[in-house]
Amino acid sequence: MNPSRRQLLHFSAAAGSLLAAAQPARAANGALLAPRLRPGDTLGLVSPANATFEREPLKLAIESLQALGFKVKPGEFVAARRGPFAGTDAQRASDINAMFADDSVAGILAMTGGSGCNRIVDQLDYGLIKRRPKFFGGFSDLTSLVNAIHRQTGLVAFHSPVAASEWNDYSVQSFKAVAMNAEAAVLRNPVVKPVDDLVAREERTMAIRPGRAQGRLVGGNLTVLASLAGTPYFPDCRGAILFLEDINEYIYRIDRCLSTLRLAGALGQVAGVVLGRFTKCEPGEGYGSLTLDEVFDDYLLPLNVPVYRGAAIGHIKRKLTVPVGAAAEMDAEAGTIRLLQPAVA
C-alpha cells in the first residue's frame, strides 16, 4: 500500500470515528439521551414560568446548585418580570433556546414553576434541541415543557426539583443517581420508620390495582398536562407509564382533568399509572364531593392496568427525579419505578 493511500485510510477512519462520536446517544427504546451531568459542569439557570420577586431566593438557588458541584450561568432574563411572569414570553423562551445553543452549558434547570410555560411551549427551537441534546429539568408548570421537549425531539427530559426547591439529601441522591451517575435506578419512596407508633404513617404507597407494567414514563402535573390535550405537545401515551401529581386543586377539578385525559383517549392507552402526591387537593365548598379515592377508582380501575398511589412525586419536600421518555417497569404493590436503562449517556 502506498503512503498516500495509507494516509487516506487513516484519515477516513478518524473522520468516521469523529462522526460517530458526534451522533447523539440513544436508548434501546429509541429515545434521545443527554450527556450525564458531571461535577464542574455549567448549569444554565432559566425562569420559564413565574418571576422571582426577591433577590434572596435566586441567591439561594445558585448556592444550592454550586453546592451540588456545578457552575451556574443565569439566563439573561432569569430575574426579569412582567406581571407574574419572569419577563415577556419572547424573553423566557429565548433564554431556553440560548442555553441549548451555548456549548459551555451542559444542562438547563428551571428556577421555579408557577404558570406561563404553556405560553412559550410553541416558541422553543426543537430542531436546535434535537441537534444539541442536554439535560433539561423542572416540575409543576414545567410539565408542559418537559413533555413537549420529549414529544417533539425524542429527548429524555426530567421531572426534577427546580433550582429553588429544597435540596435535601433524599432529593439530592435521587437527582445524582438519575442525572449524574447514569444509574438504572429504582425510584422508591424514602423509608421512614415509626418513632412511637406501631406502623409507619409517612411516605406510604398503596396499590389501587396490583401488578407490574413496562413502558415509557410520561406525565407530571395533572392540571398542566390536561391543558396540553389536543396539541402537538401532549405526550404519546400508547403503552406508557403515566405519572401524575397536583397541588391546591379542588377534587372536582381533579375529576375534570382526568375526564379530559379519558376523553382525549390517553387513559385508555396507558400500560400503568403512578399517582404521586395530591397536596392540599380538597373538597372545597358546595353540596359535597367525591373523595380522591373515589375519583381515582372511577377513572383508573376500569383501565385494568397496575396503579399505585403515594409516590414521592410532586409538590412535596422530598421528591424523586423522574426521566420523561425513559423506559421503566412499575410495580404497584412494591411502590417502585425501575428504570430499565440509564436515562442519560
Q: Please give the C-alpha separations between residue 311 and each of 4, 41, 57, 137, 182, in angstroms, as whole numbers.
A: 63, 30, 27, 19, 21
Q: Which among 80, 151, 89, 84 is positioned nearest to 120, based on CA atoms?
A: 89
Active-site residue, from 140, 165, 171, 174: 140
Known catalytic residue at 183 = no
SS (H, E, C) 232-262: CCCCCCCCCEEEEEEECCCHHHHHHHHHHHH
315 is catalytic: yes
Rounded distance between C-alpha atoms, residue 85 and residue 53, angstroms: 10
Nearest to 37 by CA among 297, 321, 336: 321
CA distances from 46 to 77, 100, 110 (A): 8, 11, 5
Which residues have a Cβ under 8 Å from the Cβ of 190 and sit 6 or more positions away?
170, 203, 312, 318
Match 424514602 to its residue by C-alpha cell. Answer: 190
Q: Residue 154 — left, alpha, or beta (φ > 0 → left; ψ -120 to 50 → alpha)?
A: left
Q: Which residue type does 169 have?
A: D
Whose grid coordinates read 438519575?
178
249 is catalytic: no
Catalytically annotated residue among 160, 171, 174, 245: 245
- The catalytic position among 174, 249, 315, 329 is 315
Cα–Cα distances in angstroms (integers) from residue 283 to residues 152, 249, 291, 295, 323, in the given order: 36, 9, 7, 12, 31
Just list the catalytic residues: 140, 245, 315
